[in-house]
Amino acid sequence: MTSPKTSPVRRSSRDRTLSDQVYERILGMIVEGRIPVGEKLPTEHVLSDQLQVSRPVLRQALKQLREDGVIVSRQGSGSYVQRRPDEAILDFAPVGSIADIQRTFEFRAAIEGEAALIAATRRTDKDLAHIRAALEELDRCVREGELGVDADEAFHVAICMASDNKYFLAARRSMKPNILTGMNLTRNLSLTKPQERLELVQKEHYAIYDAILAGDPVAARATMRIHVENARNRVFEGAEL
C-alpha cells in the first residue's frame, strides 16, 4: 500500500512578510558593517532568538540573501558574508522595499524579455522611432549627470508597445510603482559610481535596441533579460565597486 502524497507546504502571506523583514534586518547589519565581509553569521539558533522569529522564517530570509549573492553557505560550517552592498542602498530604497524590488526585477526579466522578443518581429518604423527617442534622451541624461528615470521608463514602455500586445503593457502597468522604485534605486546608485557605470547601462539599452532593429527575436529577449538581471545584481554590488 502506497502512502498518500503530501501537498507542498505553502508559506502564508504573514510568513512572507516576516521573512522579508528579517531579510532586510540582516541585510542592514551587513550593509552597516556590523557583520563584515568574510565573517560568519551567527548560528540560526542565535539569530532566531536575536530577531525573535522562527527558524523557518529565518531560513527563508537567509535563502533570499544567498540568492542575492550577499551571503554564501559552506557545508558543515555555516553562512558567511560574501558581499557588502553599498550603504547608499539604505538611503535610496524606501524602508521595507528591498525584497519587493528584487521580486519586481524577476517579474520584469520574464515579462519584458518576452515583450522584446515579440517586438523584434512586430515593430514598426514608428515604434523604432519611439524607442530611439527614449535612448537619445537617456544619452542626454548620462552626459549631463541626470537621474533619467522617466527616460528609462519610456524606453521600456516603448518596447512593450512595439510588441503590439496590450497585455504586456497591462502587466507592466500593474507593477509600475514597484518598477519605478527599482529604477530610482538603481539609477541613484549608478550616480554614486564613476560615469562609466551609466555608460555601461546605456550600452545594454543599445544592445536591446539593435536586436529589435535587426529583427532578431532571440537576441532581443536575451539582451533584455541580461539587462534586467544585471540591474538586479547591481543593487547588491560591493561597496568598493
Q: Is the pLDDT of residue 220 over 70?
A: yes
Domain assignment present for residue 2? The answer is no
pLDDT digits (tens, 9 = 90+) for 73-127: 998 889 999 999 888 888 888 767 888 888 899 999 999 999 999 999 999 999 9
Residue 237: band (very low, low, confident or very high) from pLDDT cuts 50, 70, 90:
confident
Domain assignment present for residue 175? The answer is yes
Domain assignment present for residue 6? The answer is no
Domain assignment present for residue 73? The answer is yes
**pTM score, whole prediction:** 0.81
- How many domains does the structure of the chain reveal? 2
What confidence score (pLDDT) does residue 235 get?
Answer: 86
Say yes or no: 97 and 49 in one domain.
no
CATH of residue 137's domain is 1.20.120.530
Mean pLDDT, to the nearest integer, of 33-50? 94
Instruction: In whole angstroms, give the CA distance from residue 150 to residue 154.
Output: 6
User: Which residue range is the domain that position 69 belongs to?
Assistant: 13-84
Give buried/exposed letters for 141-169 (b at 16+ CB in 10 A, else e).
Answer: bbeeebebbebbbbbbbbbbbbbebeebe
Say yes or no: 126 and 214 in one domain.
yes
Query: What residues are paired with 81 via a beta bridge?
Result: 71
Domain assignment present for residue 241? The answer is no
CATH of residue 77's domain is 1.10.10.10
What confidence score (pLDDT) does residue 55 get?
Answer: 93
Instruction: In whole angstroms, give the CA distance from residue 214 to residue 96.
Output: 41
Say yes or no: 174 and 97 in one domain.
yes
Instruction: In whole angstroms, give the CA distance from residue 71 to residue 35.
Output: 11
What confidence score (pLDDT) does residue 44 get?
Answer: 93
